[in-house]
């Protein structure tokens, strides 16, 4: 069931309480549908975007330039940031989980092998094509990879679910009916969790404080709790819960909020193709694959990373369309028409392009029907790099003295990049340049910033917020253990990319869904042990005294009727 907490209430106690109804929270809740476990999912947002709720995400950015304010890099609404994500998926690879001698604080306590079944399950949640991300995908597409030297560059794919009008999977929309109909799951919207309460001994979370923007406050108890509020907000809840432990929960070693890392993304080079060898065009195509598109990419091979003592990084290729290219002309005309003006030069260009309709028509068809990129006749490409950051304890999130509308202290992000973070870019571009020359594909011209000290103003983050409650078996270097349980607290777990010890180059959501499903399996076992066996599936019921009010008339909420 899905209920609006402004007009209904929640049970006093459940078996499992999930805070946050974004990608991780929804993936976790679904795992318990139809089980004997009573679940409450508390979500701050409602069904639609609301500026007042979004403002609760406000915070400062005081380190390297990031989004000006912290409410600009995530969405506080049922479904979380999947309401605005790009839907690009690719898994991490073996090296990303490994301890790399040259990367301080690297190494996950779990291996790529441990993650495989979960990645495949996570992949199914993203509404994309078959599980195909490595070089063999070229065969599935009926094409072949360019034989780049495997000691330098590896082929891989992203999948982007934007075919057949599907667009990106919005988790709330996709899984709403399933959650609405589940008798043992209660999704409470407009429920802001503002504090975690520990028991007297300070060793287990016993309850949570919930507030609505309308001033209702309540408490919910559970046997187990999971924070799934995203990589920034998970930190805030741990730090503001400082009644018994003054440094906050799980923060005995001052690790909460540290190691914040992003994917560093920027255009880094231009490729001019050899007119006699345009095979590289295939690497910029969005290839139809099942319900999704596959976008080819190149990653720095593990051997090159080790040889150059650098981080994982990848390249994708965007065709460059010059001002006279058909696609650019159409875009400009559309822009002119929206401004109610059409220049003579634009008209001349349209006539010229229409004469060349042999190229234009298939392009328009591809764009409109398949949502793909135009092929046209590009001979020039921008290479777009995505690189991981080395874990850095100085890159961190802290509480500030400022409070939000609910009286909760706000956050400041002090994001740092290091010399090591920079090193991957020249190594990646060098690998591309030498390989393009060797294979006669064309000329790679790096952008000036690649070897300079400053970042380009095109630098962007995912936005992927990783590392702030990282996984480590040693509580001095991490907030959660290998099972995503908060160190030193018996009943508290964390889901999401904040548990990543390192981020690889891969967009984070597929991996965070996989770690969440792994957590779900763990919680099922744990709950089977501590929840008394029940003869029937418990319904999450709104107690009698918790009558919803519409206007002045009390209304009994009916399970299964759904909320607003
Ligand atoms: C513009 C943009 C583009 C992106 N593109 C991609 C992409 O192409 N590929 C990719 O892999 N990733 C992408 N991402 C990242 C992706 O959206 C996130 O990795 C993913 O949504 C994180 O899931 P989550 O459940 O951990 O957090 P979220 O999805 O952020 O969900 C957190 C939920 O918790 C709720 N919440 C927060 N605080 C509280 C509280 N105190 N009480 C109750 N509820 C609370 C929020 O309302 C929200 O619903 C993108 C992100 C953005 C912003």
- pLDDT digit string (tens) for 88-100? 999 999 999 999 9
Question: What is the whole-number distance in angstroms between the Cα of residue 79 and the centre of ligand 1?
Answer: 8
**186 and 50, same structural domain?**
yes
Residue 118 tokens read as 């979960």
The answer as to whether 20 is a domain residue is: yes
**358 and 490, same structural domain?**
no
Q: Among 383, 373, 376, which Cα is nearest to 285's?
A: 373
**351 and 202, same structural domain?**
no
Mean pLDDT of 412-425: 96
**204 and 258, same structural domain?**
yes
Question: What is the whole-number distance in angstroms between the Cα of residue 344 and the centre of ligand 1?
Answer: 46
- Work out the pLDDT band at 556, boundaries 50, 70, 90: very low
Helices (H) and strands (E) in the chain, counts: 13, 21
Asked whether 45 and 76 are in contact (CB, 8 A), the reply is yes
pLDDT top residue among 101 and 378: 101
Residue 341 in this model has a pLDDT that exceeds 90: no
- Work out the pLDDT band at 524, boundaries 50, 70, 90: very high
Could you list the residue range(s) of the whole structural domain that residue 272 is in? 129-164+264-318+378-387+418-454
pLDDT top residue among 441 and 354: 441
Query: How many beta carbons lie within 10 A of that of residue 538, not counting itself?
Result: 18
How many structural domains are present in the chain?
Answer: 3
Question: What is the whole-number distance in angstroms between the Cα of residue 535 and the centre of ligand 1?
Answer: 37
The answer as to whether 413 is a domain residue is: no
- pLDDT digit string (tens) for 265-303? 999 999 999 989 888 989 988 898 988 889 999 999 999
Mean pLDDT of 230-240: 98
Mean pLDDT of 237-256: 97
Burial of residue 124 (number of CB atoms within 10 Å: 0-12, 13-18, 19+): exposed
CA distance 151 to 139: 21
Q: Whose CA is nearest to atom 49 of ligand 1?
A: 80
Question: What is the whole-number distance in angstroms between the Cα of residue 269 and the centre of ligand 1?
Answer: 30
Residue with tokens 């990848």: 314
- The predicted pLDDT at position 347 comes to 73
CA distance 500 to 507: 12
**82 and 183, same structural domain?**
yes
- The predicted pLDDT at position 50 comes to 97
pLDDT top residue among 107 and 561: 107
CA distance 267 to 420: 19
The answer as to whether 535 is a domain residue is: yes
- The predicted pLDDT at position 551 comes to 34
CATH number at residue 110: 3.50.50.60
**477 and 349, same structural domain?**
no
- The predicted pLDDT at position 376 comes to 53
Residue 523 parent element (H or E): helix 509-530
- The predicted pLDDT at position 544 comes to 37
- The predicted pLDDT at position 371 comes to 52
Instruction: Name residues whose C-beta falls within 8 Å of residue 515's C-beta, 6 or more positions apart in sequence.
Output: 115, 118, 484, 495, 499, 500
Mean pLDDT of 230-258: 97
The answer as to whether 6 is a domain residue is: yes
**143 and 12, same structural domain?**
no
**269 and 257, same structural domain?**
no
The answer as to whether 562 is a domain residue is: no
CA distance 324 to 307: 43
- pLDDT digit string (tens) for 489-498? 999 999 999 9
Question: What is the whole-number distance in angstroms between the Cα of residue 515 and the centre of ligand 1?
Answer: 15
The answer as to whether 156 is a domain residue is: yes
Q: Whose CA is nearest to atom 19 of ligand 1?
A: 509
**223 and 104, same structural domain?**
yes
**285 and 218, same structural domain?**
no
The answer as to whether 563 is a domain residue is: no
Q: Taking CA 293 as the corner, what is the angle to CA 292 and CA 297, rounded to the nearest 5 degrees? A: 135
Mean pLDDT of 472-487: 98
Q: Whose CA is nearest to atom 50 of ligand 1?
A: 85
The answer as to whether 201 is a domain residue is: yes
Most informative mutation of 2, 4, 20, 71 for ligand 1 (most atoms within 8 A of CB):
20
- The predicted pLDDT at position 191 comes to 98
**256 and 192, same structural domain?**
yes
- The predicted pLDDT at position 48 comes to 96
Residue 328 in this model has a pLDDT that exceeds 70: no
Q: Distances from the Cα of 446 to the Cαs of 140, 425, 450, in angstroms? A: 32, 10, 7
CA distance 514 to 111: 12
**111 and 10, same structural domain?**
yes
- The predicted pLDDT at position 552 comes to 31
């Amino acid at each position: 069931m899905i209920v609006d907490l402004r007009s209904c209430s929640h049970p006093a106690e459940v078996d499992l309480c999930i805070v946050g109804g974004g990608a991780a929270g929804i993936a976790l809740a679904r795992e318990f549908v139809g089980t004997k476990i009573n679940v409450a999912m508390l979500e701050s947002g409602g069904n639609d975007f609301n500026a007042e709720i979004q403002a609760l995400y406000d915070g400062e950015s005081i380190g390297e330039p990031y989004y000006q304010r912290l409410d600009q890099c995530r969405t506080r609404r049922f479904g979380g940031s999947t309401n605005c994500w790009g839907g690009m998926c690719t898994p991490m690879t073996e090296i990303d989980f490994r301890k790399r001698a040259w990367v301080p604080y690297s190494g996950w306590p779990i291996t790529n092998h441990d993650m495989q079944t979960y990645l495949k399950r996570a992949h199914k949640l993203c509404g994309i094509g078959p599980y195909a991300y490595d070089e063999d995908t070229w065969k599935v597409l009926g094409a072949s990879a360019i034989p780049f030297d495997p000691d330098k560059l590896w082929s891989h794919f992203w999948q982007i679910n934007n075919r057949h009008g599907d667009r990106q999977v919005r988790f709330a929309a996709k899984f709403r009916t399933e959650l609405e109909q589940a008798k043992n799951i209660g999704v409470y919207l407009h429920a802001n969790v503002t504090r975690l309460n520990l028991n007297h001994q300070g060793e287990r979370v016993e309850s949570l404080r919930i507030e609505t923007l309308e001033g209702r406050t309540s408490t919910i108890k559970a046997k187990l709790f999971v924070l799934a509020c995203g990589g920034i907000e998970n930190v805030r809840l741990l730090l503001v819960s400082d009644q018994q432990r003054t440094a906050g929960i799980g923060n005995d070693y001052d690790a909460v909020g540290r190691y914040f890392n992003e994917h560093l993304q920027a255009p880094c080079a231009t490729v001019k193709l050899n007119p006699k060898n345009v095979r590289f065009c295939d690497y910029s195509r969005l290839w139809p694959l099942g319900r999704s598109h596959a976008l080819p990419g190149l990653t720095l091979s593990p051997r090159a990373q080790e040889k150059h003592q650098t981080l994982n990084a990848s390249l994708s290729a965007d065709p460059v369309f010059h001002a006279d290219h058909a696609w650019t002309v159409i875009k400009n005309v559309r822009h002119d028409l929206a401004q109610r003006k059409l220049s003579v030069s634009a008209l001349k260009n349209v006539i010229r392009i229409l004469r060349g309709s042999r190229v234009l028509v298939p392009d328009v068809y591809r764009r409109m029907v398949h949502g793909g990129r135009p092929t046209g006749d590009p001979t020039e490409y921008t290479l777009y790099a995505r690189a991981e950051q080395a874990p850095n304890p100085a890159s961190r999130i802290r509480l500030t003295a400022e409070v939000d509308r609910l009286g909760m202290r706000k956050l400041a992000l002090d994001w740092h990049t290091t010399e090591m973070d920079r090193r991957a870019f020249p190594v990646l571009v060098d690998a591309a340049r030498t390989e393009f020359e060797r294979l006669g594909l064309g000329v790679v011209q790096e952008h000036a910033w690649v070897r300079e000290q400053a970042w380009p103003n095109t630098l962007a983050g995912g936005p992927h917020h990783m590392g702030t409650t990282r996984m480590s078996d040693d509580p001095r270097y991490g907030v959660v253990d290998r099972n995503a349980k908060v160190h030193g607290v018996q009943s508290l777990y964390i889901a999401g990319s904040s548990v990543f010890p390192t981020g690889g180059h891969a967009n984070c959501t597929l991996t965070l869904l996989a770690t969440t499903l792994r957590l779900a399996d763990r919680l099922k076992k744990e709950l089977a042990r501590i929840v008394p066996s029940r003869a029937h599936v418990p319904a999450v019921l709104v107690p009698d005294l918790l009558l919803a009010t519409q206007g002045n008339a009390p209304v009994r909420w009916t399970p299964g009727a759904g909320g607003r």
